[in-house]
Copies of this chain bind each other. A is one copy, B any other.
Amino acid sequence: MRVLGVDPGLTRCGVGVVEGVAGRPLTMLGVGVVRTPADADLSHRLLAVEQGLERWLDEYRPECVAVERVFSQHNVRTVMGTAQASAVAMLCAARRGIPVALHTPSEVKAAVTGSGRADKAQVGAMVTRLLRLDAPPKPADAADALALAICHIWRAPAQNRLQRAVALHAAAAPTTTKGRTS
């Protein structure tokens, strides 16, 4: 199972690709950040996020996209941008027929550190260990994207098996595919 984790944001949208199955060592295939200029028009920032994510989807062809579920508890202005960037990520996946999973920040922290209240350093340290990296990925958004992907691989093995079966069935009957091929 290959998962693209997306930590949505307009200024920095973290992306990380992890491959593996629950109970086995995981492999990081790629990690990075899609950035958009803070002084650009909102519609152009969303377009830049789309173009960036499309490149990641083209290059890594994930079977699932795991996106952080956005809540409105923080700074209102930031949250709206985060919600909008997450919409772009979900849309890019849905257009290709890739299943989307949403995980809350505390689900992700609990999955990789054992505590839903872990801080960024702890998450970064566990991501580094679990993926056998030399150093924690930076910025934190990139590490968070990897943690999302790991969380998804670990949380939903039964769900993943179902999704693989559905994907195989869809591949066998391509007329039902709705995604664009662009």
Which of A19-27, A76-84, A138-146 makes up part of the contact surface?
Answer: A76-84
A90 touches B46 (CB 8 A): yes
Contact with B along A33-62 (1 / 0, CB 8 A): 000000001111011001000000000000
Q: Which of B44, B72, B100 contacts A72 (CB 8 A)?
A: B72
Judged by DSSP, the binding face of A is: helix
Report the bound CA distance from A131 to B163 in whole Å. Answer: 49
- Once the chains are docked, how many angstroms separate the CA of A46 from the CA of B80? 16
| Pairwise interchain contact B87-A41, C-beta atoms closer than 8 A | no
Q: Once the chains are docked, how many angstroms separate the CA of A55 from the CA of B62? A: 29
Q: Which residues of B contact A125 (CB under 8 A)?
A: none
Interface residues of A (CB under 8 A from B): 41-44, 46-47, 50, 70-72, 76, 79-80, 83-88, 90-91, 93-95, 100, 102, 178, 180, 182
